[in-house]
Structure 1
């Protein structure tokens, strides 16, 4: 059996929307992910091996990104917010006899518009990284009193 790798098309014929992003961008991403994981299974290479799962949740005041990174040193974890994306990079070196292998993991998450990027904080405790993203004041729920005449 011969395995043929999927080649990504060089031209995208979908018209760009008003904001400069293709209306098919989400579909294209999912199709790319599907082909990447399916073809890597046949070729024997693991797909998404450099990614790790994250949990996203929020409350009234903050949004949170939680990632389990057991066995990583705190100094080897890098958290950045750039252009509306939160990126978490982690590197781990393992020594087996004379050989040293390096594992690099990365994950990017698109941030919602109501997040204030100035006050982002991160805490790493017991192998769990929690990034706290404060919400803008106008995005927080407010209680409005009703007056009776």
Structure 2
């Protein structure tokens, strides 16, 4: 009843056990990407007008729950949702299904040419929008080739 997917509501428990088992055997490098995908959020990145535009879906988060950090060359978006204290179950109220996730949700992006001082962020209706201007990179120079055509 109310189950989805091949593992139903136990999928997260199964994943956590697999990640723990194989993570202990093969190291964090093995389990890290799986854990990151399981505890992440959807993001779109566009490039236009000399800027990057990032849109991240973070429904239910308040701006105080979200931290955006740019430490060259990585942009990190971190959102934390604290688990609500569970009310004691009673004869009248019984949890049939709980799909909301709690914990830390993190995405990290490699953006080498971001202008750190010009980054702007806004949050509206669960959509985090970042405007990231590119900085001019004087280290990049086009070399003209001399000689015959």
Normalising by the residue count of structure 1, what TM-score does the alignment of the two structures yield?
0.58
Residues 68-115 of structure 1: per-residue CA shift (max 9 Å, x gap) = 00001111100000131000111112423159x8421111111033x2
1:134 to 2:133 alignment = yes
Normalising by the residue count of structure 2, what TM-score does the alignment of the two structures yield?
0.58
Residues 107-131 of structure 1: per-residue CA shift (max 9 Å, x gap) = 1111033x21221111111100011
Q: Give distance in 2, aligned partners of 1:47 and 1:79.
A: 17
Structure 2 residue aligned with 1:120: 119
**CA separation of 1:75 and 1:110: change in aligned 2, threshold 3 A:** same
Residues 25-46 of structure 1: per-residue CA shift (max 9 Å, x gap) = xxxx8xx47x964xxxxxxxx7
The number of equivalent residue pairs is 105
Answer 1 or 2: higher relative contact order, Cα 8 Å, separation at least 6. 2
Of 76, 85, 92, the residue aligned with 2:81 is 92
Misfit runs of 4+, over 3 Å? none
Matches within 5 A, 1:95-114: 95=84, 96-97=86-87, 102-113=102-113
Gaps spanning 5+ residues in structure 2: where? 1-17, 90-100, 139-149
**As a proportion of its length, which structure holds more strand?**
1
Gaps spanning 5+ residues in structure 1: where? 9-28, 38-45, 140-149
Q: Give distance in 2, aligned partners of 1:57 and 1:84.
A: 17
